[in-house]
């Protein structure tokens, strides 16, 4: 029996751009903050080389401009290059023209530094939902082939609880098509439970993540794992005055994620997001925005 392939993705961003710190750190302050991106990305690259696996890296344009050598190293190792906006602003808080300008600037920065034009987009903080479906049309205008911004759960920051749970193909008003690859969930008692990425992977015991991914694979469905470079940093830059929730989301379990990820890469097969789309026989239109 052919081994089920899962999807490995990285949201390449600095530690200080996360939504949980948005009320503490202004964009104007970013250039003066210490960077941890190079060291953490190099650890991820080394881990991926060890397991001979390629990932899809969704890159923040602002980071690409400041680390062009890193962008080229990621591309040279055969990884897929995706777009994660320019300033890491939530799409559901932007007007269409601002989103268009941000995406255009991000693409320019990523192409200039990596040499590759992204085919895929992921919104910061999973922030495309039923209120901003116009974003899909703009992504189509830029020639993106797929988006991975829907998280079909209910969360205090993001989520589209009634959104699709599997890869599907939507027809845009322009007549173009755009694949959507939502974040992975497990259905239990009528609710979608998140798994396989971010804080859900960091804070969950490894046996639980492994079991949930195997359940999806037993159903013939891939799991999409996503990580951020700052999540594998056991000594992130300290920030004082955080609430308990902010501290949990920013610092919680960062000393164990690399160990869990290493085990996942040994226990399961992974490929890039574009490889998953191209190898899939599914061609469903479940949500047309």
Instruction: Report DSSP letters for 68-120, one per residue.
Output: HHHHHHHHHTT-EEEE--SS---GGGS-HHHHHHHHHHHHHHHHHHHS---SE
Tell me what pLDDT residue 281 has: 46
pLDDT value at 163 more than 90 = no
Q: How far is residue 164's CA from residue 281's CA, in Å, rounded to a whole number?
A: 17
Residue 286 lies in a domain: no
- Average pLDDT, integer, range 137-158: 89
Mean predicted confidence (pLDDT) in 2-24: 88
For residue 70, the domain's CATH number is: 3.20.20.370
- Residue 156: which domain range? 5-279
Q: Which helix (H) or strand (E) holds 59?
A: strand 56-59
Domain membership flag for residue 289: no
Residue 143 covered by a domain: yes
| Beta carbons of 52 and 8 less than 8 angstroms apart | no
Between these two residues, 253 and 267, which has the higher pLDDT value? 267
The per-residue pLDDT for 170 is 93
Whether 92 is covered by a domain: the verdict is: yes
Using a pLDDT cut of 90, give the percent of the chain over it: 71
Of 99, 88, 106, nearest in space to 21 by CA: 88
Backbone angles phi, psi at 39, to 5 degrees: -65, -40
The strand pairing partners of 269, in sequence order, are: 5
pLDDT at 283 over 60: no
In the chain, the number of structural domains is 1
The pLDDT, as a whole number, for residue 248 is: 66
Q: How confident is the model at residue 94 (pLDDT cuts 50, 70, 90)?
A: very high
Higher-pLDDT residue of 235, 143: 143
Tell whether 284 is covered by a domain.
Answer: no
pLDDT, greater one: 281 or 170: 170
Q: What SS3 class is residue 138?
A: helix
Task: Examine residue 188 and state whether it is found in any structural domain, yes or no.
Answer: yes
27: CB partners within 8 A, 6+ apart:
87
CB-based contacts of 38, cutoff 8 Å, min separation 6: 67, 70
Average pLDDT in the 39-61 region? 97
Q: Give residue-wise pLDDT tens across range 190-206.
A: 788 888 888 889 889 99
Does 242 map to a domain? yes
- Coil, helix or strand at residue 162: coil
- Identify which has the larger pLDDT, 93 or 153: 93
Q: Assess if residue 288 is contained within a domain.
A: no
């Amino acid at each position: 029996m052919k081994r089920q392939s899962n999807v490995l993705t990285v949201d390449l961003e600095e530690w200080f751009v996360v939504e949980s710190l948005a009320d503490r750190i202004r964009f104007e302050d970013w250039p003066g903050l210490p960077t941890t991106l190079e060291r953490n990305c190099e650890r991820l690259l080394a881990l991926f080389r060890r397991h001979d696996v390629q990932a899809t890296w969704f890159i923040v344009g602002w980071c690409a401009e400041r680390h062009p050598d890193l962008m080229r190293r990621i591309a040279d190792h055969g990884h897929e290059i995706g777009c994660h906006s320019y300033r890491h602003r939530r799409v559901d808080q932007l007007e269409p023209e601002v989103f268009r300008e941000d995406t255009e600037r991000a693409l320019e920065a990523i192409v200039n530094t990596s040499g590759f034009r992204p085919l895929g987009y992921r919104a910061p903080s999973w922030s495309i939902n039923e209120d901003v479906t116009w974003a899909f049309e703009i992504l189509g205008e830029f020639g993106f082939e797929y988006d991975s911004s829907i998280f079909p759960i209910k969360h205090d920051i993001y989520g589209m609880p009634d959104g699709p749970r599997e890869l599907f193909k939507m027809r845009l008003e322009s007549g173009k098509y755009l694949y959507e690859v939502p974040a992975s969930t497990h259905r239990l008692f009528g609710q979608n439970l998140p798994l396989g990425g971010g804080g859900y992977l960091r804070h969950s015991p490894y046996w639980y993540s492994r079991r949930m991914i195997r359940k999806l694979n037993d159903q013939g469905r891939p799991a999409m794992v996503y990580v951020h470079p700052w999540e594998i940093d056991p000594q992130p830059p300290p920030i004082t005055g955080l609430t308990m929730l902010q501290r949990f989301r920013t610092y919680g379990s960062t000393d164990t994620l690399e160990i869990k990820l290493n085990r996942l890469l040994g226990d399961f097969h992974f490929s890039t997001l574009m490889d998953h789309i191209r190898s899939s026989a599914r061609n469903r239109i479940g949500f047309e925005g």
